[in-house]
Structure 1
Amino acid sequence: MRRSTSLATIALTALTLTGAAALPAQAADRPGAPAASAPATSDVAADAAEAASGNSVTVTVSMDHLGRGKAIADALRGIKTDNRGGFVQEAVDKAFKAAGSRHNVMLFNLSHNYNDKFRGTKVYANVQWGNIHYGLWIFESGEFTNEGDGGWINWGFVGWYERNGGHVKFNRSW
């Protein structure tokens, strides 16, 4: 399912007004071989926005099939940094560990266009760092295409995957 920036804005407005959150799309994919790192692309275009955004973290878990949503949210709320790229890196690492280090993790800036086809989503949360809204998915396998900026300030992921530019194919860990 393709989500445009305007749809993400509408969803975030609905979240603010109702306290609800949009759930990620589901699609089938097959398992494969593991890999274990995250994107290394950097972006400095939003350095001024980083300083203005502050470092408060708000997390709203709307799907928790692992029973670890509270631990994940607490881990993310504990991040204290004024560096947006550093926040994304630390958030992905903490979410991965809090979820048991067994599932893939994707954190993505919802103001950018993307296409997700996750299978076996275990946790979904809306994460707000300063004034930036991210989606956090913890899942078994699938694909994700970043149609926006690929720097650490906008996305991060960890797990078992193959990356080709803005497209990432995730495999199961087992």
Structure 2
Amino acid sequence: MRRTTTLATIALTALTLTGAAALPAQAAGHPAPAPATLSAPASPAASSPAAAEPDTAAAADKSVSVSVSMDQLGHGKAIADALRAIKTDNRGTFVQEAVDKAFKAAGSRHNVMLFNLSQNYNDQFQGTRVYANVQWGNIHYGLWVFESGQFTNQGDGGWINWGFVGWYERNGGHVKFNRSW
């Protein structure tokens, strides 16, 4: 399914206005050492030399804006503040830091996903507790804090487009997330 930033924003606004409890989810990752274990933030192309180079596509403005539209944990402000504090000109570094900081700010108990909304994906998350639209420069990401589910990245991988942390098993672009408890 292809979602553009505009369509995602409209859909999220509609969900917020109707009070819907479930939101679409996004993902990324690297193979977990074992099922149901906590894994560090990961990305399929994290070791790529290109991941270390600054991203020129977002060169105009590297500021971070965060809009939390769902917060069932009561940690939305802490997550938003942590993400806004990230200062980097490297898009891959931003994604890595955002996932790590969101995980810690959410209490280190839920899975956390950050995904570039201009990429293709399919998601099936259960227990979404926080959703935020995150903009780094001119790139729009979705950030989900959730209990369990599945995600398939149908677009480009690498740290610049996706990252996650939590309890998961990965097979290529498909990731299955487990609850931490």
SS at 1:150 equivalent:
coil
Residue of structure 1 equivalent to 2:37: 34
Aligned residue for 2:13, secondary structure, equals: coil
Q: How many residue pairs get matched?
A: 161
- Paired with 2:39 and 2:152, the residues of 1 have a C-alpha distance of 18
1:148 aligned residue: 155
Q: How does 1:3-42 map to 2 (within 5 A)?
A: 4-6=2-4, 8-12=5-9, 14=10, 20=13, 24-25=23-24, 33-37=36-40, 38-42=42-46
Residue aligning to 2:133: 126
Structure 1 stretches lacking a partner, 5+ long: 27-31
TM-score (norm 1): 0.84
Task: Normalising by structure 2, report the TM-score.
Answer: 0.81
Instruction: Check if 1:98 corresponds to 2:108.
Output: no
Instruction: Give the match for residue 117 of structure 1.
Output: 124
**Which residue number in structure 1 is paired with residue 56 of structure 2?**
48
Q: How many Å apart are 1:128 and its aligned residue?
A: 0.3
Unaligned runs of 5+ in 2: 16-21, 26-34
Q: Distance in 1 between matches of 2:44 and 2:173?
A: 12
Question: What is the CA–CA distance in structure 2 between the aligned matches of 1:47 and 1:55, rounded to whole Å?
Answer: 10
% identical equivalent positions: 71
Deviation, structure 1 residue 49: 1.3
Superposition RMSD in Å: 2.3
Alpha carbons of structure 1 residues 144 and 160: separation in structure 2 relative to 1, 3 Å:
same
Paired residue secondary structure (2:170): strand
Moved over 3 A (4+): 19-23, 42-47
1:61 counterpart residue number: 68
